[in-house]
Structure 1
Amino acid sequence: MYNSKIKGLGYYVPDNVVTNDDLSKLMDTNDAWIQERTGIQERRHVVKGEDTTTSMGVKAARIAIERAGIDKDEIDFIVFATLSPDYYFPGPGVLVQRDLGLPTVGAIDVRNQCSGFVYGLSVADQFVKTGMYKNVLVIGSELHSHGLDMTTRGRGVSVIFGDGAGAAVVSREEDNSKGILSTHLHSEGQHAEELSLLAPGMGSRWVTDIIEENDPDDESYYPYMNGQFVFKNAVVRFSEVIMEGLEKNGLKKEDIDLLVPHQANLRISQFIQKKFGLSDDQVFNNIMKYGNTTAASIPIALTEAWEQGKIKEGDLVVLAAFGSGFTWGSAIIRW
């Protein structure tokens, strides 16, 4: 078996910056309220007609492919993680294949929300390690802003999320001591409704029902989150899955050079940092600038950390995520 490594990274966020003060003009909130609860200062929202989930993913992918030092036609497979696709079907993976002008390679879509990139990375890792593919493109991209309740009623959710995309090229590595050492994935569907959005036309309510009811107070269009319950589960599962990965590879928490957690809430990251006894230099956070970009958050953060020189060859890098599903996972990487 081969090993796999992240050979190239890239990210893209829209130019449109939305500050907490901007949101205070739309709903009953303020900068102090948002920062105290989430750590977020600003986020990016797309301008309608300028970006889509797919187009942002393509822009991030082009950067990752260039940095990987390969031709785009050397991509063997595409894994696209998102909860906000352009269409219910087809998924964005095939749209990336089209827009990048790739050969007729396979493409799959991963619907694991905040854990989506870690799940997608795990899929790519297995394909490369078994020798089936040599270069797999993994994308996490989200367009949340058009689906949020931008009123006081929805502020508990809408202040958190932003738009953006990140991408990685996962390639074959001959040295088994380098690259992705292991990935670890979990789910607990009994809590699915604690962080969810019922798709119109799916489940118990159909589009025709919604149109007929025409209820201005209908909240089913928007995401629901039981924030405190999600937080309590997140801090437990983050810790468990990080330790699972370390123990699998005979490592200790003291061996971590950089932890890149899913950017869900700065308080969650700080809780995990304190529990593991990590310094500020050992944990990378950028939720302050971008908010929670769900499947895009880890690849955006990982790319920024790499660009800023916070990741060096030989470093032990740990990725960890928790989110809707509930799903959670980790990846242990020797850079």
Structure 2
Amino acid sequence: MYNSKITGLGYYVPDNVVTNDDLSKMMDTNDEWIQERTGIKERRWIKEGSDDSSSVMGAKASRIAIERAGLTSKDIDFIVFATLSPDYYFPGGGVQLQEMLGMNTVGALDIRNQCSGFIYAMSVADQFIKTGMYKNILVVGAEYHSSGLDKTTRGRGVSVIFGDGAGAAVLSRTEDNTKGILSSHLHSEGKHAEELTVLAPSAKHWVTELLEENDENDESYFPHMNGTFVFKNAVVRFSEAIYEGLKTNGLETTDIDMLIPHQANLRITQFIQKKFKLGDDQVHSNIHKYGNTTAASVIIALSEAWEQGKLKENDLVVLAAFGSGFTWGSVIMRW
């Protein structure tokens, strides 16, 4: 039985920094209000006129990860691409990565699990490698949120949270079963789907309807979030997913060396950190710089933690996420 481990990491965020003060010029908000509720100080938004998109940012992050893995794009056997903001309604961004990176005609799978997208993508890639089907898989999380946000006072509860960016990991086959991904755990609860959602465009509600009706008050095209309800569910499901992963591998909370949580809200991260009695050096958080980049947030944070020398040989690293769907999950790995 093979195992899979990360051999290369990379991330990319746009140069354009949007501070809380910048947002206060667009809507009725201020730095104190945003930081108090989210912990966010700034985020990156793609600048108007830029060529960046989810697939372009994903490709930029991927090139870094592939090079760091000591590979070329021709060595990649499969692509798993997680995003809720693809360049097109269809096809998905995976095939764009295949073309942009000049790869062989490898398979490309798109994952639509929002904030849990990278966790789901890693789990899928891990299974392909463990069964011996593929040797090197490119796993990408990328999001272009800023073009689809309601940047008025009406939308401030959501629009101040999200940022743009991408991250990538190369997952490779290893015969050392003591290293790499030990287990992954995935869950969903669809009855809460509309607590955090974008209702349109969809087969039920196409963009043309909005254009024909010219209904400027139609909010279905912007993200909707029941923030309090999402928060309450997140802190419970985050904990459950982490405990599940530890129990599966006969581990305790004291065995965790590094927790990389989805960067949804600093208050959620702080709650989980306190519950698991983890020190500041055992949790990596960057939401203050990048906001919530959804499927990209875990991989951006993981890449950043690695670049900063926070991950050491044999460290027990836990990835966890919760988000729209509701979906949630965890990945337990030995570095």
Q: Which amino acid aligns with 1:42?
A: E
Aligned residues: 334
What's 1:139 paired with? 140
TM-score, normalising length: structure 1: 0.99
What's 1:266 paired with? 266
* Separation in structure 2 between the aligned mates of residue 235 and residue 322 of structure 1, nearest angstrom: 9
Query: In the alignment, is the contact (CA less than 8 A) between 2:116 and 2:327 conserved in 1?
Result: yes
Q: Which amino acid aligns with 1:236?
A: V
* Separation in structure 2 between the aligned mates of residue 207 and residue 284 of structure 1, nearest angstrom: 39
CA drift of 1:199 comes to 2.2
Query: In the alignment, is the contact (CA less than 8 A) between 2:4 and 2:171 conserved in 1?
Result: yes
**1:271/1:201 Cα in 2 relative to 1: closer, same or farther (>3 Å)?**
closer
SS of 1:27's equivalent in the other structure is coil
CA drift of 1:201 comes to 4.3
Which residues of 2 match residues 47-196 of structure 1 at below 5 A?
47-50=47-50, 51-196=52-197
SS of 1:21's equivalent in the other structure is helix
* Separation in structure 2 between the aligned mates of residue 201 and residue 256 of structure 1, nearest angstrom: 41
CA drift of 1:47 comes to 1.4
What's 2:41 paired with? 41
For structure 2, the residue ranges without an aligned partner over 5 or more in a row are none
Query: In the alignment, is the contact (CA less than 8 A) between 2:120 and 2:186 conserved in 1?
Result: yes
* Separation in structure 1 between the aligned mates of residue 206 and residue 309 of structure 2, nearest angstrom: 50
* Separation in structure 1 between the aligned mates of residue 84 and residue 49 of structure 2, nearest angstrom: 19
**1:207/1:18 Cα in 2 relative to 1: closer, same or farther (>3 Å)?**
closer
**Which digits, 9 at most, give the CA deviation of each residue in 1:44-65, with x for residues without a partner?**
0001332011000000000000
* Separation in structure 2 between the aligned mates of residue 207 and residue 268 of structure 1, nearest angstrom: 34
CA drift of 1:250 comes to 0.2
Query: In the alignment, is the contact (CA less than 8 A) between 2:258 and 2:316 conserved in 1?
Result: yes
* Separation in structure 2 between the aligned mates of residue 294 and residue 207 of structure 1, nearest angstrom: 23
For structure 1, the residue ranges without an aligned partner over 5 or more in a row are none
SS of 2:11's equivalent in the other structure is strand
Query: In the alignment, is the contact (CA less than 8 A) between 2:255 and 2:316 conserved in 1?
Result: yes
CA drift of 1:245 comes to 0.1
CA drift of 1:200 comes to 2.1
CA drift of 1:207 comes to 3.4
CA drift of 1:174 comes to 1.2
* Superposition misfits of 4+ residues, deviation over 6 angstroms: none
* Separation in structure 1 between the aligned mates of residue 37 and residue 207 of structure 2, nearest angstrom: 35
What's 1:314 paired with? 314
CA drift of 1:72 comes to 1.4
SS of 2:320's equivalent in the other structure is strand
**Which digits, 9 at most, give the CA deviation of each residue in 1:163-210, with x for residues without a partner?**
00000000001110100000000000000000000122422x333432
What's 2:233 paired with? 233
Q: CA RMSD in A?
A: 0.8
CA drift of 1:263 comes to 0.1
Q: Which amino acid aligns with 1:69?
A: G
Q: Which amino acid aligns with 2:325?
A: G
* Separation in structure 1 between the aligned mates of residue 164 and residue 92 of structure 2, nearest angstrom: 18
SS of 2:176's equivalent in the other structure is coil
* Separation in structure 1 between the aligned mates of residue 91 and residue 127 of structure 2, nearest angstrom: 24
SS of 1:220's equivalent in the other structure is helix
What's 1:22 paired with? 22
**Which digits, 9 at most, give the CA deviation of each residue in 1:283-324, with x for residues without a partner?**
100000000000000000000000001000100000000000
Q: Which amino acid aligns with 1:242?
A: I
* Separation in structure 2 between the aligned mates of residue 233 and residue 75 of structure 1, nearest angstrom: 37
> Percent of aligned positions with the same letter in both sequences?
76
* Separation in structure 2 between the aligned mates of residue 128 and residue 208 of structure 1, nearest angstrom: 42
SS of 2:182's equivalent in the other structure is strand
